């Protein structure tokens, strides 16, 4: 099999992106291709695989996202910005409703967050319904409370974006502690059988610094839905005002985020980069990349994002 692809990133969350609108492959095939292409030890690498898929009567196009382990995620907001950009460019539009695995999202081009940085805004609805989070504990919601059975006494807020997130506000991020809790969530415990993403969040530099153990990925420099869930959790716990823009940082960069209160619709808007840094084609044979040809390196976009990172204090 041979594919044309774009290597891209949103806030450092990097992926190979394929226009799959005319491709007819099984879920099993795509899972295998994701494992091959996202392998950090291989010639491509990434946090997963993004697919631009065909639209329908209600959506201009769709997105699918496979993690590096081959599992499919409900959404990925950093990846969605990149998929949206490709959809905009191929269809000649500037805004769209996008079909996700189990929901929809609104996307639109926005003014650049920094010179030379293509910027896309995503809008998705957050939920604190424990059934939607997939957290099987007593009650309807968990806002800054303990999780029975979790190997930590920290308080967490549970949010679905629609993928599941547990968010804890901390004085200082400890990667070892975060990884231990993340590995527990990754093990599909009885109270979280669908697994989940776990984030530690610091209040830093007037905004939020988010560090995430991502389901199907592990400890990651950037997770867009975690940035959205953390913004919503900050509003729920009084650490940020609903309706006001907050800058959200991670090791991959930054985004501008705004969350509406639950009674106002619970929409979380994230405006951030959709950077394309390489155009390539690959041939896959079995479980390996047999050939990779680089057609273009987008050095101007790389330089523009490097300038952003130079101004970000992590």
Q: 223 catalytic, yes or no?
A: yes
pLDDT, tens digit (0-9, with 9 covering 90-100), for 296-309? 999 999 999 999 99
Q: How far is CA 6 from CA 14, 162, 282, in A?
A: 10, 26, 11
- What is the torsional sign of CA 262, 264, 265, 271? negative
Q: How far apart are CA 138 and CA 99, in angstroms?
A: 32
Residue 159 to residue 141: CA distance in whole angstroms: 9
Q: Tens of pLDDT along the chain (314 residues)?
A: 999 999 999 999 999 999 999 999 999 999 999 999 999 999 999 999 999 999 999 999 999 999 999 999 888 899 999 999 999 999 999 999 999 998 899 999 999 999 999 999 999 999 999 999 999 999 999 999 999 989 999 999 999 998 999 999 999 999 999 999 999 999 999 999 999 999 999 999 899 999 999 998 899 888 999 999 999 999 999 999 999 999 999 998 899 999 999 999 999 999 999 999 999 999 999 899 999 999 999 999 999 999 999 887 66
Catalytic residue among 8, 82, 223, 244: 223
Binding-site annotation: residue ranges: 13, 67, 163, 197, 214-215, 224-225
20-56 confidence digits (pLDDT tens): 999 999 999 999 999 999 999 999 999 999 999 999 9
What pTM was estimated for this model as a whole?
A: 0.89
Domains of the chain plus CATH, in order, are 2-122+274-311 (3.10.310.10), 130-271 (3.10.310.10)
Quote the distance between the C-alpha of residue 194 and its chain's center.
17
């Amino acid at each position: 099999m041979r594919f044309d692809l774009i290597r891209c990133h949103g806030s450092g969350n990097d992926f190979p992106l394929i226009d799959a609108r005319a491709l007819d492959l099984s879920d099993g095939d795509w899972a295998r291709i994701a494992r091959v292409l996202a392998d950090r030890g291989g010639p491509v690498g990434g946090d997963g695989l993004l697919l631009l898929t065909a639209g329908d009567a209600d959506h201009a196009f769709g997105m699918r996202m496979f993690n590096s382990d081959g599992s499919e995620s409900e959404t990925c907001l950093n990846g969605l910005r990149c998929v949206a950009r490709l959809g905009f460019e191929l269809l000649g539009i500037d805004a769209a409703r996008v079909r996700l695995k189990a929901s929809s999202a609104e996307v639109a081009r926005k003014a650049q967050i920094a010179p030379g940085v293509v910027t896309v805004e995503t809008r998705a609805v957050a939920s604190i319904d424990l059934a939607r989070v997939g957290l099987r504990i007593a009650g309807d919601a968990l806002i800054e409370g303990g999780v029975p059975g979790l190997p930590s006494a920290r308080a967490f807020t549970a949010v679905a974006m629609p993928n599941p997130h547990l968010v804890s506000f901390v004085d200082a991020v400890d990667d070892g502690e975060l990884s231990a809790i993340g590995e527990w969530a990754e093990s599909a415990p009885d109270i979280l059988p669908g697994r989940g993403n776990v984030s530690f969040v610091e209040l830093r530099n007037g905004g939020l610094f988010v560090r995430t153990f991502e389901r199907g990925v592990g400890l990651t420099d950037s997770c867009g839905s975690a940035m959205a869930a953390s913004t919503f959790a900050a509003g729920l716990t009084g650490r940020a005002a609903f309706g006001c823009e907050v800058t959200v940082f991670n090791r991959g960069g930054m985004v501008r985020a705004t969350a509406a209160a639950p009674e106002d619709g619970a929409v979380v808007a994230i405006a951030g980069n959709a950077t394309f840094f390489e155009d390539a084609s690959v041939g896959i044979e079995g479980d390996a990349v047999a050939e990779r040809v680089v057609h273009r390196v987008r050095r101007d976009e790389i330089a523009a994002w490097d300038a952003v990172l130079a101004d970000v204090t992590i």
